[in-house]
Structure 1
Amino acid sequence: MLGPVNTLFILFTTFLISLSISAEENVKPCLVQDSVLIQKFHIFPNKTLLDTERKLTYAPHQYFREGNSIRGCVCLVKKCIRKCCAEDHHIKNGSTECVPRDGGFGEFRTSVFRNLLPPKSANDEFYFLTGLQNCPQSRFRLYPDESPDDKFTLLANGDLKFLAEEEPIDVSMYCVEHFGDVDYVSAILCFPEEPSNQVEGALINVYAVGMLLSTVFIAITLLVYVLLPQLRNLHGKCLMCHVGCLLAAYLSLSIVQLGTETIPGWLCTFIPFVIQFTFSAAFFWLNIMCFDICWMFNRVHTISGSSAERERKKLCIYSTYAWGCPLLLLTVCIIADLTPGLPNFIPRPRFGEHSCWYSPIGDKSPVLVYFFGPISILLIMNLILFIRTAMRIVSLRKGTGMLNRNDSQSSSDKQQKFVLYLKLFIVMGLSWIMEVISFLVKGPTYMWLLTDVCNTLQGLAIFLIFVWKPKVRRLLRERLCPGRGMEQQNTLVSAGGANHLRKISSNTKVEELSQN
């Protein structure tokens, strides 16, 4: 029969899984405007879909249902170029109106391939989407024949690029069309998306400042553990690795938040790999600490040797796991991102293409597979380990009596470590669970304001949990001001001695009175 703790855990886990599944079902792998309606198709047992009309094959994460219809993210299967009007239309001179034109599409394709695309581009490499793109702000037209700044070309992957600029523009943000003259092809672009109001713009700076503040407190925490050898036992070394990873991750995020406009292209591509590795490693080290506290309470001794030798061996095993798994994830990311010609079903991170992180445009599966997915699995594992440890503590209190006065010092230390790591898990776990849910569900910024701010201030919480304690402050005073520490200790000893003498004197008087 399940106990109340097990029942609560099962209900909580079921709720999280159902919430994640329902949220994931609402996440489309691409914008509707970047998809095509598939009317004639065949779905295979492995969920792969064949568009028999266009002769295109879609992996399960490359198409989605909308109502009773199926739409395919064609730009995930082929390179795309967007045409502003329907196939047999063009834009009338001096207006933005699409009007019919006989044979317009064939002439349009010829003009595009001859004048805009690289010479080696083949006709069958590209799919032409039709219709004006949806823009978050508004649109503007280019006049390349009148302004040198408006001259542009199309890249081999279908992106538009100004000749005078380096940053390409995704197909969801532009369309090209004949304007009056058949040989004259120009483009209509979306204005760059900006914060919808001053409050959202200010929030971006608030998040960046919060991350910098966390970076400072995390650095102080790491420095305290470096200065105090008393804290550098196995648990302390694991915490130092965890905190060191968070320090590098938050520092990298702060650079991205504050310097998006000025970061060079190579750095914008490199930093996401650093963030990917450091955040993954931080969560793997948190998983190690949760496992170790569970191991400690269950008194499992499978490693031989003295206490120091066991700690050394455990640290080697833990390091292999906590550094090796993130390194493996990073290697897979590098291969998927930088290797050309991989199958379409392999998610590609596209670091640095549209932001200094996973590409926010198009397929969202890479960030789920390589980042949020592993983190979610680790958080669930940590929750199971903490519930197991809590149940063990209750069992030992009721049953064997291990946690009593005879073993008070040892049990007290273990319980203190458990409480510390439980607080750390709550700080890291709850905020990141909400981070995953916010990514899946989306919604306006204000919905996730509280969790986002809490996430940026994790460094402050870690400092308060592990450093701002009387014991650590006393050790720090003794380390930095040894003379002052000795004076305080002598004062305490003198005060204790005086109290002891007063007690003896008082007891003597009581004895004398009783004798009289």
Structure 2
Amino acid sequence: MKNYLRLLTHVLLISWCACNPCTRVESVDISAGVLLENGSVIYDGLEYPKSTWYEELADELVKRYGCPCIGRVCMWKCCGPGQTPFNGSCLDTGLAEVNPFNPPVYRGREPSNITAYGTFFYMHGHPCIDSYLVDTADVNEELFIQENGTLMEVAIGGTQWHLPTGYCVDMKYHNNSVAPRLVAAVCFPEENVSTDDSPLLYIAYAVGLLLSVPFLLATFLVYAMIPELRNLHGMCLMAYCAGLIVAFPFLAYLKLHVGRIGVAMTGCLVVAFIVYYAFQTSFFWLNVMCFDIWRTFSGYRGGSTNKRRDNKRFCLYAIYAWGVPAILTACTAGMQFSDNLPSHIVVPGFGSRRCWFVNWLSEFVYFFTPVLFLVVSNVIFFSVTAHRIRSIRQETAILKGAESSRSDKLKKDKQRYALYLKLFMVMGVNWTVELISFAVGGSNWYWIVVDISNIALGVVIFFIFVWKKKVRGLVQKRFRHMLGMPPVATDSRTGRWTTSSAPTEDTRISADETAIRLKDMH
């Protein structure tokens, strides 16, 4: 027992007082090696000086690990010596391409005069847990092992460089009639970048998105259950919330599985396209609401609204706000699954390295380009509308004394404009800053404020459109009606709710169906 404690103390001192000369990935177990008097270890014909090996406690035993990559260039071979990958496993083989393993070496894209077998020290196995396959059998993928051990990957998404610890290579074959070809298992980018964001950030982002969903759902249900709110503007808001209700849970799923989802899986692609379409519909419905408020003020005429005309206009809006995203999604899917495209064509790359876009350029081309167009158009709509509101202030003063009903409608439309402006400021401006963050780059911690406002969008929408005195009153009235209780009315002098069996101003409907006029609660 005393010897064990002494040994444990020795190992702890080593761990605390000195850093290991290399990482565990770059180490080999040399516990069976011969320890020389000068501190070097001889193992498998290779000498490890004292400064190139270290000891660790594993399973109550002290194991000795050597660092062969110190002073040498290492290359990771996916399978063991004399083995090749076949049908998902490593099998012993007598292929000349594997015995010895000697893949071509390049300087850039030009062949080098050095040989891999005589230059690199082979490490066997995968340097990471999760990786994606790059197969040179695909005409769109090329691999170039460089003289310094880095790997140059040329694919549809562009050229990428990988450090020796970020990939492994091997010769793969399917049957004896097909010549073996070089393949690589490349680690996901999240594992290669040492400055990558903490997993805690992705978990917090996902939790925030999920917490926002109940508020979006509550907003949707309130406007769906109350007839007074189910006008043209209310239905547009419901459609907008529906897109976010679908997008947020699936986006949270992606955030919780960053770097862990198997690529090229059907489920991975389905989630990516659902998130893409749902977010695009939400942006287009926001654009619809901005257009509608501009249309309201562009040739402003007071008076009542027509339910049938509003339903027809909503159908036209729906064709645009759901149809155009469907076309964009179809185009994105077409580019995703197209073969033999020129190398300069930017493709989405869903599932090649993660479930979302393969890189920032693909995301900008396919996702942020339509979003940027919509944000700019929304700014124009709001600017023109604001100018129009300012220009009719004098008319408003006249209306107050002449046509009170028309003046009241103008006041309500201006209130609705203010609500939509708040919504645009929350979503449109935030996503503009999100686009800037993509261009600038850096850790997500730098843009944490923008991310918080994005994931809290459901809460903001709820308080803007639902948590208002008038809407709360309509909700209370609706529930009282469902429970068979007498309706409530508001005392204009005290502002208090009182029970009444008489119809209120909010529910008064004319006999002519085409002249339905409900009080606008926006």
TM-score, length-normalised on structure 1?
Answer: 0.60
- The DSSP-based 3-state class of the residue aligned with 2:356 is coil
Structure 1 pair 342–485 and aligned structure 2 pair: CA distance change class (3 A): same
Q: Which runs of 4+ in 1 moved over 4 A?
A: 80-87, 89-98, 116-130, 138-145, 154-159, 188-192, 194-199, 260-264, 399-403, 483-488, 490-497
Q: C-alpha separation between the residues in 2 aligned to 1:319 and 1:290?
A: 14
Structure 1 pair 127–202 and aligned structure 2 pair: CA distance change class (3 A): closer
Q: CA deviation at 1:195?
A: 7.8
Residues 1:291 and 2:291 aligned together: yes
Q: 1:140-177 deviations in whole A, cap 9, x for unaligned?
A: 679999xxxxxxxx99997524xxxxxxxxxxxxxxxx
Q: Hey, what does 1:357 align to over in structure 2?
A: 356
**What code does the residue aligned with 2:270 have?**
F
- The DSSP-based 3-state class of the residue aligned with 1:393 is helix
- The DSSP-based 3-state class of the residue aligned with 2:191 is coil
Q: Hey, what does 1:267 align to over in structure 2?
A: 267
Residues 1:387 and 2:383 aligned together: yes
Structure 1 pair 81–365 and aligned structure 2 pair: CA distance change class (3 A): farther
Q: C-alpha separation between the residues in 2 aligned to 1:440 and 1:334?
A: 25
Q: Hey, what does 1:479 align to over in structure 2?
A: 478
Contact 1:268/1:356 (<8 A) preserved: yes
- The DSSP-based 3-state class of the residue aligned with 1:193 is helix
Q: C-alpha separation between the residues in 2 aligned to 1:309 and 1:469?
A: 28
Q: Which structure carries more relative contact order (alpha carbon 8 Å, separation 6+)?
A: 1
Contact 1:117/1:156 (<8 A) preserved: no
Q: C-alpha separation between the residues in 1 aligned to 2:253 and 2:235?
A: 27
Q: C-alpha separation between the residues in 1 aligned to 2:219 and 2:181?
A: 46
Q: CA deviation at 1:339?
A: 1.5
**In structure 2, which of residues 199, 217, 220 is the aligned counterpart of residue 219 of structure 1?**
217
Q: CA deviation at 1:97?
A: 7.3
Q: Hey, what does 2:282 align to over in structure 1?
A: 282
Q: CA deviation at 1:490?
A: 7.5
Aligned length: 364
Question: What are the within-5 Å matches in structure 2 for residues 444-483 of structure 1?
Answer: 444-482=443-481
Q: C-alpha separation between the residues in 2 aligned to 1:470 and 1:338?
A: 51
**What code does the residue aligned with 2:367 have?**
F
**In structure 1, which of residues 249, 253, 263 is the aligned counterpart of residue 251 of structure 2?**
253
**What code does the residue aligned with 1:314 have?**
R
The structure that is strand-richer by fraction is 2
Question: What are the within-5 Å matches in structure 2 for residues 87-166 of structure 1?
Answer: 87-88=111-112, 90=114, 131-133=148-150, 160-161=184-185
Q: 1:254-286 deviations in whole A, cap 9, x for unaligned?
A: 111124448992111111111111111111110
Q: C-alpha separation between the residues in 2 aligned to 1:340 and 1:94?
A: 38
- The DSSP-based 3-state class of the residue aligned with 1:248 is helix
**What code does the residue aligned with 2:431 have?**
W
Contact 1:403/1:411 (<8 A) preserved: no
Contact 1:215/1:247 (<8 A) preserved: yes
Q: C-alpha separation between the residues in 2 aligned to 1:354 and 1:118?
A: 14
CA RMSD of aligned residues (A): 4.7
Contact 1:242/1:281 (<8 A) preserved: yes
Contact 2:480/2:487 (<8 A) preserved: no
**What code does the residue aligned with 2:409 have?**
S
Q: Hey, what does 2:228 align to over in structure 1?
A: 230
Contact 1:431/1:454 (<8 A) preserved: yes
Structure 1 pair 200–314 and aligned structure 2 pair: CA distance change class (3 A): same
TM-score, length-normalised on structure 2?
Answer: 0.59
Q: CA deviation at 1:343?
A: 3.6
Q: CA deviation at 1:494?
A: 12
Structure 1 pair 493–193 and aligned structure 2 pair: CA distance change class (3 A): closer
Q: C-alpha separation between the residues in 1 aligned to 2:288 and 2:140?
A: 53
Q: 1:417-466 deviations in whole A, cap 9, x for unaligned?
A: 11110010001011100111101110233221111111111111111111
Contact 2:419/2:465 (<8 A) preserved: yes
Structure 1 pair 300–318 and aligned structure 2 pair: CA distance change class (3 A): farther
- The DSSP-based 3-state class of the residue aligned with 1:355 is coil
Q: 1:22-55 deviations in whole A, cap 9, x for unaligned?
A: xxxxxxxxxxxxxxxxxxxxxxxxxxxxxxxxxx
Q: 1:89-120 deviations in whole A, cap 9, x for unaligned?
A: 6578798579xxxxxxxxxxxxxxxxx99897
Structure 1 pair 384–121 and aligned structure 2 pair: CA distance change class (3 A): closer
Q: CA deviation at 1:220?
A: 1.5
- Structure 2: give runs of 5+ residues left out of the alignment: 1-103, 123-132, 153-159, 170-177, 497-522
Q: Hey, what does 1:203 align to over in structure 2?
A: 201
Q: C-alpha separation between the residues in 2 aligned to 1:272 and 1:484?
A: 43
Q: Hey, what does 1:244 align to over in structure 2?
A: 242
Structure 1 pair 91–193 and aligned structure 2 pair: CA distance change class (3 A): farther
- The DSSP-based 3-state class of the residue aligned with 2:392 is helix
Question: What are the within-5 Å matches in structure 2 for residues 304-383 of structure 1?
Answer: 307-360=306-359, 364-383=360-379
Q: 1:318-359 deviations in whole A, cap 9, x for unaligned?
A: 111111111111111011110112344432101111111001
**What code does the residue aligned with 2:289 have?**
M
Q: C-alpha separation between the residues in 2 aligned to 1:196 and 1:444?
A: 11
Contact 1:87/1:130 (<8 A) preserved: no
The structure that is helix-richer by fraction is 1
Q: C-alpha separation between the residues in 1 aligned to 2:298 and 2:144?
A: 60
Contact 2:105/2:112 (<8 A) preserved: no
Contact 1:396/1:402 (<8 A) preserved: no
Q: CA deviation at 1:202?
A: 1.4
**What code does the residue aligned with 1:315 have?**
F
Contact 2:335/2:348 (<8 A) preserved: yes
Q: C-alpha separation between the residues in 2 aligned to 1:458 and 1:273?
A: 21
Contact 1:140/1:191 (<8 A) preserved: no
Q: CA deviation at 1:383?
A: 0.6
Contact 2:346/2:362 (<8 A) preserved: yes
Q: 1:196-238 deviations in whole A, cap 9, x for unaligned?
A: 5897221111111111111221111112122212111000111
Q: Hey, what does 1:432 align to over in structure 2?
A: 431
Q: Hey, what does 2:95 align to over in structure 1?
A: none
Q: 1:373-414 deviations in whole A, cap 9, x for unaligned?
A: 110110010011001111111100035646635633212211
**What code does the residue aligned with 2:239 have?**
C
